[in-house]
Structure 1
Amino acid sequence: MWTGRWSAGETVLVRGMGLNFFDVMGQLTEGRGGQFVPAEGGLHGKLKYLPSGQEPKIIAASRRGTPYRAKAGLDGYYPKSVRLRYLTESAVERFAAAGIQPGFDHDLWPLLHRDALWAYYSTLVAAEPVAVSDATEFLAALEDLLQPHAHATGRWENHVAELVSTHVASSRRLDLLGLAAPLAGHSFASRKELDAAVVDYLDDDARRSALGESDPVKMAIGALHTGRAILKSAVADGGITDESWVGELRGWFESFVEGLASGPPALRAEQLAALARAGVVSFVGPDPRFSVDRSQRVFRAVSAWVHDDAAEARILIEAMSPANRVGVSVSPFLRQLLADGLVRPKVMMTAEGTPVQTSGLDVQPHPYRVVGANGSVTPGMYALGLQLSSTQWGTAIAAEARPSDGRGYRSGQRTLRDADEIARDMLGLPLQK
């Protein structure tokens, strides 16, 4: 195993704190004989790490300075208590029926934002009623302010903020965008101080995950997660403008929602907190900058938000998944197709009118025949799955199991339907509507 090449106590820098990071973490700790046991005192969700003495010293870095938020403990893929009221399939269909090509920020995000707010505050009232004064009156007023007709004024968010400030304890108000950047705006006198802050974040996040559908934060995230299923259908096949796709959906929302709704199981957050308490793992801080000192043969990482010496190690593990971009793919197959002019990347226009090469292949509409460099179509050549990432959003998940309550979304089996359409086209059969 590649992780066995480094001696005990050696410092290892790890870049990226997504799901790959937790695989590395497991190999370098439990994989070397360490054990996690319940913390003394029986504190729920808190673990203690018993080192084997064979572990390296792990220093972890990511743009946020923390891992993605852990998944809530749920019975299914989506929280049963979350029912989208505003970003619904029927709402999306109304845009199409009216001949409107929506923008993400202007049309779709305000609806999903409403759903996240309602999920949070309705859960807060149910789980922690003392945090809200006149709860029944508050929810009725909130429901009225969230009605989509308020979207026309452009001030509905301000009205909601005023209502919340009147009724909700300041420590329980939702900062939705802030959930994805828990260390934003904070500076730390030392890496030790940073480590303590990250452990507090991990412990709190794991505690919330354990509460499942009783935690307001996790249900706001649950609304965003559920909303992704609607968005996948809404934005596919030119559903939103090019500039909205490039600058809004992919520009800010994708990384935002992934950091909240695509994290590890809560157990991994509990384990990471235990490793940090044991001194096996420490952190670099937000917005890390990496460098190589070739004369000293070391890698360095430093955060402007942490007033301490740079982290330094002879070894750097790249735990970030490479971006799926056909234009820079190292796949010999894709590179040859590009070189031969049989395929080309999809180009979209930004709001400034600048052409941008996007991540996926340029294709015709269903059943997604690929478009070559000169605009021609090669018979019998189709695209499926990941390489449709400029036509569909969220192509990494090919299919989702139908929820136990029978609710399903049209996007849930998109890749399977695409494969069926390609097969029918190859056989000369009509496409099903």
Structure 2
Amino acid sequence: MSTAMVFERPALDLSPGRLPAGCPVIVRGMGPGLPGLLAELTEGRGGRFVRDHDGETVYLPGGGEPLIYLGSGRGVPYHAAIEYSLWGDGVSGPRFAAPEALPRGPAHFRRQVWPLVAKDLAYAYYRELLTAHPSRARMTWAEFERAYSAQEWGSAAMRALVRRAVPRFPDRLDLDRLDRPLAGIRFGDHAGLRRWMVGYIGADVERRADPAHSADLAVGHMARAVRDALAGTRHADPWLDGFTAFMADGPPGAWLEELRALALAGVVVFLGAGVHVRQDATGGWRAAGPTVPGAVQARALLDARGIVEKQEEHR
């Protein structure tokens, strides 16, 4: 008989006696429970973060850290928090996904409700872009708004409108790519994924600190407004809650820089998106996903999403 360790938030005992130095540990989830968990397993084991001569965050291991395999559904941490205010004409609340505009009876969220939510998110995004940064657009907000309001979300006419109004591709909103940046991307090994993640995290921190991209903040504000407007109605959906948290309730950029430093130090190994964790024949755990071939094995599973320690015995 073997015993596999499962820790769910808030973890009760992550001491070296339970998780010794170098012990492979699978951590599932990159949401709000992750920073505290990683702090206990890294700085709590004697490691520390410093700045190098270029101002980059570097992690100096203390020697007591476990080997942390980190994965989740999206495979990336929440977007960095934005600490400035909108520059343009903000939007007070949802227009297309207001409760009175939604179907009165039961509705499939992704097919019938999400297109209206997405249209509101893009409405807020382009309003901020065109009013705060008009030099990056080929039409005024008034012109864009009239045409935009008449189009269905995702239609060819709407895509053509955006191309005419916003000439630079990086200035156009891509909700699918924002939500699932690793979708369809494959790497030959974990080193390749690490290089991509280091670049992705750095770019996210830089973008979210730059008011030139204040339209991103407008998306977060609208996502919260829609979530709050739908709360308690038949159209409230857990998927929207998760999407909103990912877009608008992320950690400070400084913490994401620390996560990047942990990866560069070899303490954290990213597993990618769509990670599934299963128990193996020995009573340990195996984690695998489509981003990187193969599976990793560990004796302990830490769940950063939820926490009461449980012991599961397997014969």
Q: Give the Cα separation in 2 of the matches to 1:191 and 1:48.
A: 20
1:280 to 267, 280, 284: 267
Note if 1:24 corresponds to 2:37: yes
TM-aligned CA deviation for residue 193 of structure 1: 0.8
1:2 to 1, 13, 34: 13
TM-aligned CA deviation for residue 209 of structure 1: 2.7
TM-aligned CA deviation for residue 250 of structure 1: 2.1
For structure 2, the 5+ residue unaligned runs are: 1-11, 308-315
Corresponding position of 1:189:
188
Note if 1:305 corresponds to 2:305: no
Secondary structure of residue in 2 paired with 1:317: strand
Q: Give the Cα separation in 2 of the matches to 1:299 and 1:172.
A: 42
TM-aligned CA deviation for residue 301 of structure 1: 0.8
**Deviations 1:93-132 (Å, cap 9, x if unpaired)?**
x559xx95685668765554333223323444467666x3
Corresponding position of 1:120:
125
Q: Give the Cα separation in 2 of the matches to 1:314 and 1:155.
A: 47
Corresponding position of 2:229:
230
| CA distance 1:32–1:230, change in 2 (3 Å) | same
Q: Give the Cα separation in 1 of the matches to 2:46 and 2:91.
A: 46
Corresponding position of 2:313:
none
Corresponding position of 1:58:
68
Corresponding position of 1:376:
none
Q: Give the Cα separation in 2 of the matches to 1:186 and 1:258.
A: 23
1:82 and 1:222 in contact (8 A); partners too: no
Q: Give the Cα separation in 2 of the matches to 1:305 and 1:57.
A: 20
| CA distance 1:300–1:174, change in 2 (3 Å) | same
1:86 and 1:112 in contact (8 A); partners too: no
Normalization by structure 1: what TM-score?
A: 0.59
TM-aligned CA deviation for residue 14 of structure 1: 0.8
TM-aligned CA deviation for residue 185 of structure 1: 1.2
TM-aligned CA deviation for residue 218 of structure 1: 3.3
Larger radius of gyration: 1
| CA distance 1:58–1:106, change in 2 (3 Å) | closer
AA in 2 matched with 1:21: L
TM-aligned CA deviation for residue 56 of structure 1: 1.6
| CA distance 1:163–1:278, change in 2 (3 Å) | same
The more displaced of 116-125 and 262-271 is 116-125
Corresponding position of 2:94:
87
TM-aligned CA deviation for residue 214 of structure 1: 4.4
Corresponding position of 1:293:
280
Corresponding position of 1:315:
300
TM-aligned CA deviation for residue 80 of structure 1: 8.0
Q: Give the Cα separation in 2 of the matches to 1:2 and 1:109.
A: 41
**Deviations 1:67-111 (Å, cap 9, x if unpaired)?**
222221147xxx68673266159954x559xx9568566876555
Alignment of 1:364-383 (within 5 A): none
Q: Give the Cα separation in 2 of the matches to 1:82 and 1:261.
A: 19
Root-mean-square deviation over aligned CA pairs: 3.3
Matched pairs, number: 293
State, as a whole percentage, how many aligned pairs show the same letter: 32
Higher RCO structure, 1 or 2 (CA under 8 Å, sep 6+): 2
TM-aligned CA deviation for residue 186 of structure 1: 0.7
TM-aligned CA deviation for residue 210 of structure 1: 2.0
1:82 and 1:119 in contact (8 A); partners too: no
For structure 1, the 5+ residue unaligned runs are: 323-433
TM-aligned CA deviation for residue 275 of structure 1: 0.8
Corresponding position of 1:413:
none
Decide which structure has greater helix share. 1
Normalization by structure 2: what TM-score?
A: 0.79
